[in-house]
Amino acid sequence: MAIKKRIFTPGPTEVPPRVLQSISRPLIHHRTDAFREVHAEIEEGLRYVFRTGNPVLVLTSSGTGAMEAAVANVTMPGEKVLTTPCGKFSERWDEIARAFGLETVRVEAEWGRPVDPSEVERALASHPDITVVLTTHCETSTGVLLDVGAIAKAAHDHGALIVVDAITGLLAEDVDTDGWGLDVVVGGSQKGFMLPPGLAFISIGPEAAARVKKPGHPVYYFDLAKALVSLEKNDTPYTPSVSLFMGLHTALEMVRAEGLEATLRRHRRNAAAVRAAVAAMGLEIFSHAPCNATTAVLPPEGTAGEIVKRMDGDYGIRIAGGQARLKGKIFRLGHLGYYDESDMFTMISALESVLKEMGIIEACGTGIGALLESFASDE
């Protein structure tokens, strides 16, 4: 028998069979009441996940498309914005802002550490003309969780809007859109939403909605004002990715059946157990503020690439390597989305075997033992 293929990356993540079935149903036309009903229920489900009363738009694009949509619709040319680069994806905000001709004030942190909200406060104080803060919830490339609640507070105290990339964070970590007053929150389908890639989500608060009405940059495909008008009739301005909408509908049903709190608890438990296992095997956790979506691990120098390769070759388990400046230095274990305790058993057992085979650890059992202990003690 060929080995089974399993995906354990922080996106794309595993897609439940029920969702795959929904995606492969014969097409319905998007300008029909049947589609509009599905869309209305999707909207309700997204608001539940985002914890918001704001409209949440579904865009047919990658998450990056929604990030661009946020910048193009919410900022004005020449404005000064604050970014929080501390990894590949928080760096992306800075790149997009510069592509749109904005001046960016960078509040950075070393990769592996979160940006300090008090430094954001200080930067805002020195730049009274900053109007928008573009930040990241879970930095996927490093497994770092940023304190978005505190950064949002700093932004609001300053009178700036806060725009958050929660693509990897949503459903793995609490995203309290309304409680924290997040003006714009961006999500993506191939993450906690348990879908293939191809859809992005973007919530628009009242102040952002006012800006969206008079975009300062050229917008057409990502014209959010037009999309908001369409949404009132459960419609989209352009042909949506209908099959993925059907899958999203099913995935959101699954999320509601489990409940948001139970979903977050499951992610917290899986992540804590994986971290316990990694530490027990004597490997370093790369992130100094680890998030519950993915665990970035710093193995002995020069071994990361081989570990990723053997996990796939020997066990059919696809984990992620490092990106950009972390390429070949770290590996990342995914526990974001449709994963239960047994999945963690599989992933950590395979990892432990690979590490033993490579001579990085001496005997097997410590890692998986710590994983089981963590699950048992973490109610």
Which stretches of the chain bind a copy of itself, using CB under 8 A? 5, 7, 9, 11-12, 14-15, 20-21, 23-30, 32, 60-65, 67-68, 71-72, 95-96, 99-101, 188, 190, 196-198, 217-223, 238-244, 318
Q: Which is nearer to a copy of itself, 199 or 273 (CB)?
A: 199
From the centroid of its chain, how far is CA 343?
A: 20
Let me know how long the chain is: 379
- The residue among 250 and 374 lying less far from a copy of itself, judged by its C-beta, is 250
Q: How far is the CB of 238 from a copy of itself (least distance, A)?
A: 4
Neighbouring CB atoms inside 10 A of 365's CB total: 13
23 or 123: CB nearest a copy of itself: 23
d(CA 201, CA 372): 36
Q: Token pair of 369, please?
A: 């033992």
Q: In the bound complex, what is the minimum distance in angstroms from residue 60's beta carbon to a copy of itself? A: 5
3-state secondary structure 66-90: HHHHHHHHHCCCCCEEEECCCCHHH
> Least distance to a copy of itself from the beta carbon of 344, Å?
19
Nearest to 165 by CA among 191, 134, 189, 196: 134
What is d(CA 201, CA 236) in angstroms, rounded to the nearest whole number?
13
Find the shortest distance in angstroms from Cβ 225 to a copy of itself: 12
Residue number, 130 or 195, with CB nearest to a copy of itself: 195
CA distance 116 to 118: 5
Question: Which residue number, 22 or 203, has a Cβ lying nearer to a copy of itself?
Answer: 22
How, if at all, do strands 331-334 and 294-298 pair?
antiparallel
For a copy of itself, the closer of residues 122 and 233 by Cβ is: 233
Smallest distance, Å, CB 294 to a copy of itself? 14
Indicate the residue type of 115.
Answer: V
Shortest gap between Cβ of 8 and a copy of itself (angstroms)?
Answer: 10
- The label of the residue with tokens 């696809």 reads 318
Rounded CA separation 203/50 (Å): 8
Between CA 354 and CA 285 the distance in angstroms is 18
**CB of 301: closest distance to a copy of itself in angstroms?**
23
Q: Kindly state the helix (H) or strand (E) to which residue 285 belongs, with its residue range.
A: strand 284-285
Find out whether 152 and 173 touch, Cβ atoms under 8 Å: no
C-beta closer to a copy of itself: residue 14 or 284:
14
Structure token digits, residue 20: 């795959």
Q: Rounded to the nearest whole angstrom, what is the least distance from the CB of residue 161 to a copy of itself in the complex? A: 19
Chain position carrying tokens 């102040």: 207
- Indicate the residue among 164 and 280 with the shorter CB distance to a copy of itself: 164
